[in-house]
Structures are given as structure tokens and as C-alpha cells.
Structure 1
Amino acid sequence: MSGHTRPRLPGYPFRSRWFTRDGLRRHYLDEGGGAPVLMLHGNPSWSYLWRRLIVALRGEHRCVAPDHLGMGLSDKPGADRYPFTLASRVDDLDALTGHLIAERAAPDRGWTLVVHDWGGPIGLAWAARHPGRVSRLVVLNTAAFPDPHGPRVRPALRPPLWLLRETRLGERLFLRHHAFARLATLPPFGVRRRLPADVRAAFLAPDDRAGHRLAVQRFVHDIPLRPGHPSWPLLLQAEETLAAFADRPVLIGWGLRDPVFDPLMLREWRHRLPRAQAHVFPRAGHYVLEDAHDELVPAITGFLRN
């Protein structure tokens, strides 16, 4: 895929929209009408993840799903053009939503925030800037607080994380072989049920060459494991924002077979948001919307309707 030519994307019958900031085009979807539902993907995903949920909701809600810069159909800048940090992601989201409110008649309040993976810290840090804007929260295999396992990387994750963050082999795996995203779309890593070949190809299509894969690598580099990391203060802001949702409607949809966002992470969410409606899927993995969409999409639809 080159430029903004769109690959074949089964189940993604949406009109592409674009928002330009600092000379870089960000791709987003804006489907339907009604109270806005903002859907934030993580790494190594893009707005294709939300296709079924958008189709289910756009008759009653305004569904907004951006592609983070460097991912999906957004521009793919080099490190000389963009910092690829949590702070820059929050700034991007703030600029896009500000544009939608100022120029495209989106309301200032009454938003539902749906987050997966990195969407959690990005979305909750954004919400911290606008108290009261988000009225409901949907949490899907993510975190918006320091790792409850503590500052040390869990033993099972130490070798792959060290390889990906600290070695030249890791760089080759990211950029040349696209190994991180390829494994994330295969069982037993990101999914537990094998994806149809055309769906897996659609997840991988936007990152069709090495120069388009930098964002995937930089997201892994930016994981704030302990105090002193540049993204740590924003992670703490996201954590502080969670307290505001203790009395607001929250739905948690969780795949228990996620190797990173494990049952202890789920327990932390339930501890912090004890009134949340929880839907737990013992046979689903990290991409819970792929493995458990037949149950999870109707659950989210009903949650927003009520």
C-alpha cells in the first residue's frame, strides 16, 4: 500500500476522513449520528478493530475512530517528523476532538470512551484534560494505571520485551519482518480463534513495508514500566482520572487469555471501578473484539442503549 490508497478491507464499509495537524494527515472514521462514541485502538492495531462495533452502533450513535499517527491509514512519518510518545498521542487526540467540537458540531459533553490496549492511557489522559466530557467508559483489555505486578517486568515477559526494546534483532523483527503485528494476529498470541485470511491481511495491510512500521516499534519502546520514564507522569494522570468513573456507567469486556493484560489487570480494574458491568470471556485473547464479538458487541450495544 502506498500513499493513501486503500487496501481491501472486508467488513469496513466506511468513509475515510482526514484531519491535518503540523503537516501530517490523521485518518479517522466519523459514522452515524447521536451521542458520540470515541473508540481508541492500541498497538499494533488500527480502526479496523472497531468495524463490527461501528456497524452495530452507528444507527443510534456517532462513532468516531481515529488511527494513531503512523498506524492504519494515517500518515507514516519518520522519527524526525514525530516524537511517537504518549504525550504526542494525547495532544493528537485533543486536537482531533477539538476540531470535531469546533468545526463538525460534536457536543462538548456526553461522550462515551471505548479503549483497548494503548487506547487506555491515551484516552484517560485525554479525559483528564476535560473533566466531565466523558460520561461513560468501555474498557477492553487495557490498563490506565501502573502495572499491578509491580515495577519489575514479569518473568514470562522479560525475554521478549528485552529483545524488542534493547537489541538490533528486535529492530529487524519490528521493521523488516513486522513480527510483532504478525504474531498479534495469530493464535495463541493476540487471538485464540484463527482469523479469516482476508481479515488478518486487512489488519496488516497498512504497514506494508518497513518504513511504515516505526509506530509499532515506538509504542513498545514507550511502555512506562517505572517512575522516571518520560510517559510515567501521563500514566499517573490517567490513573487519577479513573476515580471520576467510580459513579459513572462503565462496562468491562475482557479476554482472559491475554498474555499481557492478564487476570490481575482485570482484578485491578474491578477494584478501582467496583460498580462496573463486567463481561469476562475465558476463551478470548487480547483482541477480545475478534474472539468474542458475537457476545461482546451486543453487550456494548445494550450498555449504551440503557
Structure 2
Amino acid sequence: MAGPGEPISTEESADYAFASHWFDRAPYRQHYLDEGGGPPVLMLHGNPSWSYHWRRLVTGLRDSYRCIVPDHVGMGLSSRPAEGDYTYTLDSRVDDLDALTSYLIARRGAPTTGWTLVMHDWGGPIGMAWAARRPHLVARLVVLNTAAFPSPFGRRLPPTLRLALWAVRNTATARDLVLHRNAFARGAARFGVTRRMDRRTREAYLAPYAVPEDRLAILRFVQDIPLSPADPAWAGLRAAERATELLADRPVFIGWGGRDPVFRRAFLAEWRRRFPHAAGRLYRNAGHYVLEDRADDLVAQIRAFLDGGGPGLPAEGTQERRW
């Protein structure tokens, strides 16, 4: 598969047969997909995934919606700037998104209203902190296993995340596990799903992170997890939290994997508390990558939500439920 900054061909990944677009922002450039036409749907991936995560949703929406899907800087097919050229913080991610969307509006015909914001994992804090700056752009939210507020567990993190955070804040351990062994990305591909990924899909998730130099953003994302006001990303997280108030009247759809070892159901409960009228579906036996475990149904539910029909009823006898 192609490396960072290079297009992926149809032959290399038939389910990621999209045209690459680039936003130049010296000294680096950001890769993004821009598929279809109609109201814009902005899809934000987390760590350690990339725009490949959204391939099925793009395919399911692009006949009627403009699907805009960036790779965060340092991830996917975007540039890998040196630390001296980029801060690798939540604030820098929000600045990137603000610059990209402003460019799309000013230069690529994107509208100034009517955007749907779709978020997974770190896409939640990034997207909602951006939405706090531009609430007039956002018409709807789609939430998949993420957060936009301090952990409901406080500093008592779930064991999986606590172990990961301890490891990456230990410099020697972090460089060995994340940079050299690629343990975080490999672990996410293995334990982020309850239906084992086939080899091709797993390799596609890992393809942009083939060598240690490609993995710096993965490491910095985990190190940037805010637990208290002393952490650099805390202010950005609070901005994301403010957006839950600014957007309280927007339609919201929540699709949640019930067996996520990090974003446990307490996070889902907090989203529902903040958006009590949200439509949604709990997939009891899906994992963190809920869009991998329940792709067909979840894409259909999101499409119905965007089309105005609302989520459908779960199939009889399934382990899924609508609230």
C-alpha cells in the first residue's frame, strides 16, 4: 500500500478507491477526501486510525451528500512534520480543521451552513472544539464512541486506557511500544473490534504506520489525553464541552459499540444526558470500531437520520436496541 503523502490505488485497496485531495499549509500538507455533492458531511477519525475508517460511510452517502474526510496531520496520508514544525496537540488539530473548512468554504464552494459533524474517538474533542468556534456551520451531529467532555470516571480511567497512558508517559516504554513495535495501532486493530478484521482490512488500517517515523502522531495523541486542568489539552476539551451546550438544539444520532474497553457506557450515558432527544442505536456486542463491527446497519441508520427518516427499528432477535 502507498505510504504517507501518496495516493492509494484501486488495485491496492478496492474499498478505498477515492480521489485524494490536498490542503497545503506550510510546512506540511493535509490529505482529505471530498466525495459526492450536496450538504457537507464532515467525518473525523481518531487515534490510531485514518480516513480509511470512514470508507463505507462515504460510499453509502456520496450519492446525496458531500463527504469531507481529512486525515489528521501526521496520520493517514497527511504529512509527517517534525516536532519542531508542529505541536501535535489538541489545539493544533482544531486549528488544522478550522483552516481546512475555511479553505473549503472560501475556495471550494462549501456552504456556510448545514454541515453534519460525524465523530469517532479523538474526532469528538477535535470536532466539538472546532464547533465551539463555528457553531453556525453545524446543523447535525453523529456520535460514534467518543467524548467531548471530561471523563465521567474522573482520574479513575478504565484499566485498558490507564495502562496505555502509563506506558506512553514513560518515555522509554513509549518509544519501544508505540514507535518501534507499533503496539498501539496493532492492538487497536485487534481489540477494537469484536468481529475479527480480515487480513486486508487490518493491513489497510496499519498501512500508513509502517515505520517508526510514521507513528509519532499516534504517540502524541495518547500523551495528550487530558485528565486534569494541568494537562495541555484540558482547555480544548472544555471548549468541546461548551459546544455540547451551544449545539444542544441540533439533531443528534448516536451509534455506540457496547463492548468498547475505553469509551464505556458511562460515556454514552453522558452524551444522552447532554442530548436527551438524541436518536441512536446501542450495538451491545460491537467494539470501539463500531463502524467495522456493524457497518451495514450503522451506515443505513446514519443515512436514514441524514435523510430525515430517523433510525429504523432493530431487526427482530438482534442484540441491538434503539432508545
| TM-score interval, smaller chain | over 0.9
**Which of the numbers 90, 104, 110 marks the counterpart of 1:106?**
110
Deviation of the 1:163 alpha carbon: 1.5
Deviation of the 1:5 alpha carbon: 3.2
**Structure 2 vs 1, CA of residues 178 and 215 (structure 1 numbering), >3 Å: closer, same or farther?**
same
The Cα RMSD (Å) is 1.2
Aligned with 1:37: secondary structure? strand
Equivalent-residue separation in structure 1 for 2:249 and 2:90 (angstroms): 27
Equivalent-residue separation in structure 1 for 2:158 and 2:53 (angstroms): 27
Asked if residue 36 in structure 1 is aligned to residue 44 in structure 2, the reply is: no
Name the counterpart of 1:303: 305
TM-score normalised according to structure 2 size: 0.91
Identity of aligned residues (%): 57
Cα deviation, 1:62-119, whole Å, max 9, x if unaligned, reads: 0000000000000112212211000000000000000000000000111000000000
**Which of the numbers 11, 26, 31 marks the counterpart of 2:15?**
11
Aligned with 1:89: secondary structure? helix
**Structure 2 vs 1, CA of residues 3 and 305 (structure 1 numbering), >3 Å: closer, same or farther?**
closer
Equivalent-residue separation in structure 2 for 1:156 and 1:289 (angstroms): 21
Where do 1:283-302 residues align within 5 Å?
A: 283-302=285-304
Of residues 114-123 and 4-13 in structure 1, the stretch that sits farther from structure 2 once superposed is 4-13
Name the counterpart of 2:265: 263
Given that residues 5 and 31 in structure 2 are in contact (C-alpha distance below 8 angstroms), is that contact kept between their aligned partners in structure 1? no
Equivalent-residue separation in structure 1 for 2:158 and 2:214 (angstroms): 30
Equivalent-residue separation in structure 2 for 1:116 and 1:139 (angstroms): 7
Where do 1:138-153 residues align within 5 Å?
A: 138-153=142-157
Letter paired with 2:174 = G
Name the counterpart of 1:249: 251
Letter paired with 1:146 = P
Asked if residue 63 in structure 1 is aligned to residue 67 in structure 2, the reply is: yes
Name the counterpart of 2:192: 190
Equivalent-residue separation in structure 2 for 1:184 and 1:154 (angstroms): 15
**Which of the numbers 230, 233, 241 marks the counterpart of 1:231?**
233
Given that residues 259 and 287 in structure 2 are in contact (C-alpha distance below 8 angstroms), is that contact kept between their aligned partners in structure 1? yes
Equivalent-residue separation in structure 1 for 2:279 and 2:289 (angstroms): 19
Equivalent-residue separation in structure 2 for 1:101 and 1:60 (angstroms): 19
Given that residues 3 and 77 in structure 2 are in contact (C-alpha distance below 8 angstroms), is that contact kept between their aligned partners in structure 1? no
**Which of the numbers 178, 182, 196 marks the counterpart of 2:182?**
178
Deviation of the 1:4 alpha carbon: 2.9
Letter paired with 1:41 = H
Deviation of the 1:3 alpha carbon: 5.3
Aligned with 2:228: secondary structure? coil
Equivalent-residue separation in structure 2 for 1:52 and 1:299 (angstroms): 13
Q: Which runs of 5+ in 1 are unaligned?
A: none
Equivalent-residue separation in structure 2 for 1:157 and 1:89 (angstroms): 21
Of residues 206-215 and 148-157 in structure 1, the stretch that sits farther from structure 2 once superposed is 148-157
Asked if residue 217 in structure 1 is aligned to residue 230 in structure 2, the reply is: no
Letter paired with 1:10 = A
Equivalent-residue separation in structure 2 for 1:233 and 1:3 (angstroms): 30
Deviation of the 1:160 alpha carbon: 3.1
Given that residues 4 and 78 in structure 2 are in contact (C-alpha distance below 8 angstroms), is that contact kept between their aligned partners in structure 1? no
Aligned with 1:235: secondary structure? helix
Equivalent-residue separation in structure 1 for 2:160 and 2:38 (angstroms): 44
Cα deviation, 1:7-29, whole Å, max 9, x if unaligned, reads: 52231110000001022010000
Deviation of the 1:155 alpha carbon: 4.6
Deviation of the 1:158 alpha carbon: 2.8
Equivalent-residue separation in structure 2 for 1:4 and 1:235 (angstroms): 29
Asked if residue 136 in structure 1 is aligned to residue 140 in structure 2, the reply is: yes
Cα deviation, 1:269-295, whole Å, max 9, x if unaligned, reads: 011100000210011000000001121
Letter paired with 2:260 = D
Letter paired with 2:6 = T
Aligned with 2:254: secondary structure? strand
Aligned with 2:43: secondary structure? strand
**Structure 2 vs 1, CA of residues 4 and 234 (structure 1 numbering), >3 Å: closer, same or farther?**
closer
Letter paired with 1:5 = E
Aligned with 2:135: secondary structure? coil
Aligned with 1:25: secondary structure? strand
Name the counterpart of 2:57: 53
Where do 1:66-105 residues align within 5 Å?
A: 66-105=70-109
Equivalent-residue separation in structure 1 for 2:265 and 2:185 (angstroms): 23
Equivalent-residue separation in structure 2 for 1:180 and 1:121 (angstroms): 20
Q: Which runs of 5+ in 2 are unaligned?
A: 309-323
Name the counterpart of 1:202: 204
Name the counterpart of 2:165: 161
Equivalent-residue separation in structure 2 for 1:11 and 1:38 (angstroms): 19
Name the counterpart of 2:314: none
TM-score normalised according to structure 1 size: 0.96
Equivalent-residue separation in structure 2 for 1:194 and 1:16 (angstroms): 28
